[in-house]
C-alpha cells in the first residue's frame, strides 16, 4: 500500500486538500476555519481599533474574492489588535500555509489555540504542518487534541489514520481512525478510504487476527 507524500498545499475556501491523483491517498486535510460568522465581540470599540466583527467579515470577503495578500494583511493586523480572537488567527494560519510560510502558519495556529484550546481546526492545522516537517510525535499529539476537543471532527481522524498508517506503522490504530472517518464523512467521501480499510483488514486476517504495530508495508 502506497501513500502520496507530496508537499502541502491548501486550497483557499475549500475544506479539503486536493488529491495527489487517482488511486493514491490524498494529502492531509486542512479544513478552513469555521468562521463564516464573525467572532463575538463588542459591536463598537473605543480604542480606535474599530469593530472586530466588521473587520473580520471584511477579511473573509477578501478571502472569498481570492484577494489573498490583502486578506493576509487584514488578518495580520486584526490578530495583532485582538490576539484573544481565535478565528482570525486560524484563517491567517491557513493562508500562511497556502503561501508556503510554515513557520508563520504554525505561529498563527498556536495563537489561535492559545485563544481557544478547543479549536479543532487550528489543532488539525498544526498537525498537518508538523507532519510535513517530519515531527510525527507532535503531529500525533495535535490530531489527538483536535479529537479530544471535537470527537466527530473528520479531518483529524483522516490525518491521524494516515500518520499511523505511513509514518508510525501502527496499522490497527490507522484502521480504527479510517473507519471513524468513513463513519463521519460517509462512504462517498474519499472512496479510496474503503480500499485502504479492506487492505488493512486483509493483512489483519492474514496475520491470524492481529497486526503487529511495526509491520512494514
Q: Does residue 102 contact residue 67 with C-beta atoms inside 8 Å?
A: no
Domain 136-217 fold is 1.25.40
The CA distances from residue 212 to 89, 104, 132, in Å, are 40, 38, 25
- The residue extents of the domains of the chain are 52-116, 136-217
Residues making up the chain, counted from first to last: 217
By the 10 Å C-beta count (0-12 exposed, 13-18 middle, 19+ buried), 77 is classed as middle
3-state DSSP assignment of residue 195: helix
Per-residue pLDDT of the chain (217 residues; tens, 9 = 90+): 445 432 222 322 233 322 222 233 334 555 544 443 334 433 444 467 889 999 999 999 999 999 999 999 999 999 999 999 999 999 999 999 999 999 999 999 999 999 999 999 999 999 999 999 999 999 999 999 999 999 999 999 999 999 999 999 999 999 999 999 999 999 888 899 999 999 999 998 888 755 544 444 3
C-alpha cell at 175: 484502521
Look up the CATH superfamily of 52-116: Tetratricopeptide repeat domain (1.25.40.10)
Residue 19 has φ and ψ, to the nearest 5°, of -75, 150
Q: How far is CA 212 from the centre of its chain?
A: 28
Give the torsion sign (CA, 131, 170, 157, 117). Answer: negative
Amino acid at each position: 500500500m502506497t501513500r502520496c507524500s507530496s508537499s502541502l498545499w491548501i486550497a483557499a475556501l475549500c475544506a479539503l486538500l486536493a488529491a495527489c491523483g487517482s488511486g493514491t491517498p490524498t494529502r492531509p486535510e486542512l479544513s478552513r476555519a469555521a468562521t463564516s460568522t464573525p467572532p463575538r465581540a463588542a459591536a463598537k470599540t473605543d480604542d480606535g481599533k474599530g469593530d472586530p466583527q466588521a473587520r473580520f467579515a471584511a477579511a473573509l470577503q477578501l478571502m472569498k474574492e481570492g484577494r489573498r495578500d490583502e486578506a493576509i494583511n487584514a488578518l495580520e493586523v486584526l490578530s495583532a489588535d485582538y490576539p484573544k480572537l481565535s478565528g482570525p488567527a486560524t484563517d491567517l494560519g491557513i493562508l500562511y500555509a497556502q503561501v508556503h510560510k510554515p513557520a508563520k502558519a504554525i505561529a498563527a495556529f498556536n495563537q489561535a489555540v492559545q485563544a481557544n484550546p478547543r479549536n479543532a481546526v487550528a489543532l488539525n492545522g498544526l498537525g498537518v504542518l508538523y507532519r510535513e516537517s517530519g515531527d510525527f510525535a507532535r503531529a500525533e499529539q495535535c490530531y489527538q487534541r483536535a479529537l479530544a476537543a471535537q470527537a466527530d471532527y473528520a479531518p483529524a481522524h483522516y490525518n491521524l489514520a494516515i500518520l499511523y498508517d505511513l509514518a508510525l506503522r501502527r496499522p490497527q490504530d490507522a484502521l480504527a481512525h479510517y473507519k471513524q472517518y468513513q463513519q463521519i464523512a460517509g462512504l462517498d467521501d474519499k472512496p479510496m478510504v474503503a480500499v485502504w480499510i479492506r487492505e488493512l483488514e486483509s493483512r489483519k486476517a492474514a496475520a491470524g487476527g492481529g497486526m503487529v504495530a511495526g509491520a512494514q508495508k
